[in-house]
Each structure stands twice: as C-alpha cells, then as structure tokens.
Chains A and B, each alone.
Chain A
Amino acid sequence: MTYVTLNDRTLGIYFDQKISRHINLTVITLCHELEVLKVEGIKAIQHTYHMIAVHYDPYIIDESNLKEIIANISLDVSLEDSKSEVVRIPVLYDGPDLDQVSIAHNLTIDEVINIHSGVQYYVYFLGFSAGFPYLGGLDPQIATPRLKTPRLKVKAGSVGIADQQTGIYTVDSPGGWNIIGRTPLKLFDPSKDQSCILRAGCNIEFYPIDVHTFNMLESGDAND
C-alpha cells in the first residue's frame, strides 16, 4: 500500500498496479471501512481498480491525520467474502459495429452474441460518466480495438467493446467503442433513490432480447 499525494487536498492510496479481483475487494473494503467512520473533514471517497482517493477539507483535517486513521483499518479480505449479487442486463444485439466485430474475429454474429452474453462480468468501479461500470471478464476472442474515429454521439444504453473492456454508455456522449447492442435499462436515474443500478463488487450478466421485448421494457420503465 503506497500513499500518493494527488494534490493538497486529495490523498491517494495505491495498491499493486494490477486488475485483480482480490486487490479490488481490498480497495472496496478500505472505502467502506473509511466511510463508516464518518471522519469529519472527509468530503468524498472514490476508487478505481487498485486505488482510492480521499478528498478532504484541509481546514478541518490534514494528510497526516488521514494516514493515521487509514493505518488503523484492517484489510484482511478474502474472495469468499465478496458479494455474489448478479444483475441481469437485457440487450438487443443490433449494434452498428456488430458486423465489424464478428468479421474481425472470424466469427458469426450469433457466436459473438453467445460469447458476450455467456459469462458473468465483475464490476470493479463506476467512473468515466454517471453510473458507468468498469467491467472485467471480457473474452479475448471478441476484444476489439476502439474505432479510429470516435463517434460524436453515442446514445445512452449502448453496449460496446473497446480493447479488453466491455461496458454500457450511461449518458449520451462522444465515444470510440464498438457498439454491438443496446439495453432499455437506465443505468443512471437520478430520480430514483438508488440512482445507479450497478455498483462496485457486484456481477452482471447480459442476456439477449428481441425488439418487441426491448420496446416493452423501455416503455415499462416509464411506468415505474
């Protein structure tokens, strides 16, 4: 564990520079334990695969106080402790880049769909945009480099692949991912108490749906 001063009011705590579920679980645990302490002066805690950042008010607490508090937190975790929560995400696999992805890997479209939807993905953290999950577990058979020219607008709900990553756009934004499908679910909805469907430490499964089901789910959502 290494402390890195990110700036004069943000302290970084870095673990091994690896994408590993065990390291990530340690990180999630540290965040949780720190949050539970409700330390006065801590404004926010965020994390990624292997590190956490503590944003603090330097008029209330300083870096050395923070380090003392963190040093006292036990980080003994094992993978058995991790949540087995699985969130199922319906996907209409009709993306504009689905053809390209299948051709690039000498697979049929059905094979790409089976590979993409056939495994569980672990959510390492939320970042990039509201509710956007950084997922692990994409089968290297369908790992595809980003588009040379990103699109100016990718619609929220788009499911894509970029190199070793797969994910879902949660807001309309420019993007260079290969779009293979779309989900009618709103991954980020600020009007709900739990605004994000996904969170760090849970697992997700994509499952294929048809147009009819997509439309039903999309309008059904509006009736909630």
Chain B
Amino acid sequence: MTKLKILKPGLLTTIQDRGRFLGLSLGLAQSGVMDNFAYDIALLLIESEGEQPVIEVTGGQFCMVVDCECEISITGADSEVYINEVKIQLWQSYQLRKDDKIEIKNVSFGLRNYIAVKGTWHTVDFYKSSCSTDLKAKLGGYLGRQLKLNDEIFVDEQVSNIKKIAKIGLESKSSSKQSYFSQIRLKDKLIRVCDGPQINAFTSEVIEQFFSNVYEVSPFSDRMGIRLVGNKISHKVNADIITDVVAFGAIQIPGDGMPIVMMADRQATGGYTKIANVIFEDLSILAQANPGDQIRFLRTGVETSKANKIEIDKYNLVDVRQYKMTLEEDNPSSNVIKNFNVLVETIT
C-alpha cells in the first residue's frame, strides 16, 4: 500500500473522476475533471482498468511524497514538474521509488494538471458510483473538500515497469488535437460551439455579434463557470426561461449580457437563456484557460465534433500501445539514463 502525503496542497487541489452522473437527477452538480482529454491520457498512460480517481491540481504550487514504489502519470498544463528536483516531461508514465517527491511548481501555459496513480485508491469517498469531489455538497473525494497540508491518500499500488509516453501532436494528423496543444500556449483561443437550446431568444444580428466578439476570461472564473467579459449580448425579450437542464459547456447569457460557460461544478438545472454549447473536446481547452485569455467562438454543427471524436480515438490508442510494444521488444537497458530514482528513456 502506497501512501501519498501532501507536502504542498496548492491553490485548489481535488480528487476527481469522470463525474457524478447519477447525482444529476437529485440536483447534485456533475463535478468531475475539468479537462477530460488530459484525464483520458493520464488513465491511458497507467493502463487504468476503469475511470479511476486522479488528483486535479489548479495553478501548480503542489508537492507530494510517496512512501513506496508505484507508477504515476502526469498530464495537463505546461508546468514545471520535478521528481526529486529533476525536471521531467509531462504526458508520460513514471515508476516511482520509496520517498520520491513529485512537485508541480509553476504553470507556464494552461492551468490544470492531472496526476494518476496506478492501483486501487482507498481513503476516497464514493457516492452514487463516483468519487468526484462536490465542494458545495461537501461529499466525495477526500472528505468532500480540497486537499490540505499533511493529507494522506492510500493507494493499493500496481507497478508495470513499462514506460509509456503519449506521442501526441508530434506525428498526429488530427487537427483537433493539435488544437489542444497549440491553443494551450496561446492567449487567443478559438472555441467550437453548437447552437444552444435558446438560440432563438436572440436576433440573428445579435447571434452574429456573439460570434464576432472577443471575450476576456474573468478572474472570477472557477470550476462552476468560465465568466467572460466583453460586448453585451442582448435578448429579444429577457434572460429568463422556465428552468431546464444545464449541460456541460452550456453558454448562459444572464440579464447583464455577459456570457458564462457552465463547467464541471455548475448547477444541474438553471433558468437563464443559453445561446450555444461548447463541443465536448473544446471544453478541455477552456479548462486550461487563464484570466486574461481572449476567447472567440466558432459556430459549428454537431456532426463535425462526432467526426473528431473518432479521430482522437484512433490515434490515442494506437500511439501509446505501439510505443509500448516497441519497448518490450528492445533491450530495455540500452538507451537508458538512470537519474536518481527516475528511469528516463531517450526516444530516437
């Protein structure tokens, strides 16, 4: 059993999984990871059996130590990450030894990182088949709250001793995934959306304005919503509707005309008009947006996003598994640099 001990808790670090879907009909928020792409790859890199918990770190300043051998992966924002003061690459798996320290110092581009640890997690609370942390209802995750100094998480670890590296964006021809990696480094982001359920609450002139406006991400953005500031969007009548369901990525326009993109911790239902909905993939780009980032929306049909989904599927799995097969065939002791407790493979 590995103990993960928190030495630096960071600004907002929580345990999340895909989300508490079975809680939605009870009025609970979905919760769950903000960046589903980074989550998917983190799980793939440790060859997770199912949708297991990960640690979501917001804005770096995080450090934890493990007390025995285990396998981890780290994905997400472009951050300065160290294992025992040795800088490492993200989007890879690492075999850790006893007393290894993992630290996410500063975030250079993006906002959120994901740490997966291979094995069965104990000390996390499940409710309605999910261990996502619901900060409002105070349930799930680690005692229903964000992680604090000296918190200890126990994982019944599994180790594979096979190094996995996600080769994304290098050979990939998928424009959508190049989109994630290039957009994470840009202040200007282009987000694809489909029409919202109340798009008819707006005139066609206003809809055109919405798609040509550039919005700035407000510092009041959080896991509930990305608040945007820019030219006001006005309604035909008013902002209120008979309460309906708020989907992940729904863009609400309340009375003040400023769009809010509803994210993981959003209320399950709401009474404001929704002009558009961010397509699932591009939610990951928004999950990595910082205050000051400039957002433009691109009107797209759902068909486009379905096609992209298949593209991701194909190259994600193929890339990582092909690489793994190559490792098993090669002599693992060649091209290997051992650096303290970290095994680093050079890729030629």
Contact = CB atoms under 8 A, between A and B. Distances in A.
Interface string A39-66: 0000111111111110100110011000
B243 interface: yes
Contact of A127 (B194, B241, B243, B247): B243
B280 A9 contact: yes
A10 interface: yes
Interface string A162-187: 00000000110100000000000000
B287 to A, nearest CB: 15
B245 A51 contact: yes
Contact of A58 (B27, B136, B269, B306): B306
A53 B262 CA distance: 16
Contact of A50 (B24, B139, B242, B277): B242
Interface in B268-284: 268-269, 277-280
Given A128-B269, A190-B127, A170 B27 contact: yes
Contact of A173 (B26, B136, B313): B136
A53 B194 contact: no
A7 B267 contact: no
The residue among B139, B267, B269 with the most chain A CB atoms within 10 A of its own CB is B269
Q: How large is the interface on A (under 10, 10 to 19, 20 to 34, 35 or more residues)?
A: 35 or more
A188 B27 CA distance: 10
Nearest to B267: A128
18 contacts: A4-B197, A6-B277, A7-B249, A8-B280, A10-B248, A19-B242, A44-B25, A45-B25, A46-B269, A48-B242, A49-B242, A59-B309, A125-B269, A126-B26, A127-B267, A128-B269, A129-B137, A130-B137
A51 B24 contact: no
A125 B242 CA distance: 12
Interface in A192-208: 195-196
A131 B195 CA distance: 30
A134 interface: yes
A12 interface: yes
Nearest to B240: A163
A6 B269 CA distance: 13
The residue among B22, B28, B250, B277 with the most chain A CB atoms within 10 A of its own CB is B28
A47 B278 contact: no
A31 B302 CA distance: 24
A134 B242 CA distance: 11
A51 B26 contact: no
Interface in B1-49: 21-28
The residue among A10, A18, A31, A62 with the most chain B CB atoms within 10 A of its own CB is A10
B137 A188 contact: yes
Contacts of B208: none
Interface string B211-241: 0000000000000000000000000000001
Contacts of B25: 31, 44-47, 126
B305 interface: yes
Interface string A119-141: 00000011111111010000000
Contacts of B156: none
A9 B195 CA distance: 14
A171 B136 contact: yes
B28 A18 contact: no
Nearest to A133: B27
Interface of B: 21-28, 127, 134, 136-139, 194-195, 197, 241-245, 247-250, 267-269, 277-280, 302, 305-306, 309, 313
B24 A44 contact: yes
Given A7-B250, A130-B134, 17 more contacts: A6-B197, A7-B249, A7-B279, A48-B242, A48-B243, A48-B244, A55-B24, A58-B306, A62-B306, A126-B25, A126-B26, A127-B27, A127-B268, A130-B26, A132-B27, A170-B27, A195-B26
A74 interface: no
The residue among A7, A51, A130, A171 with the most chain B CB atoms within 10 A of its own CB is A7
A8 B248 CA distance: 10
B280 A7 contact: yes
A156 B127 CA distance: 20
B256 to A, nearest CB: 15
Contacts of A17: 241-242
Given A46-B245, A128-B269, A55 B306 contact: no
A213 interface: no
A5 interface: yes
B249 to A, nearest CB: 6
Nearest to A127: B269
Closest 4 CB pairs of A and B: A127-B269, A53-B245, A44-B21, A6-B247
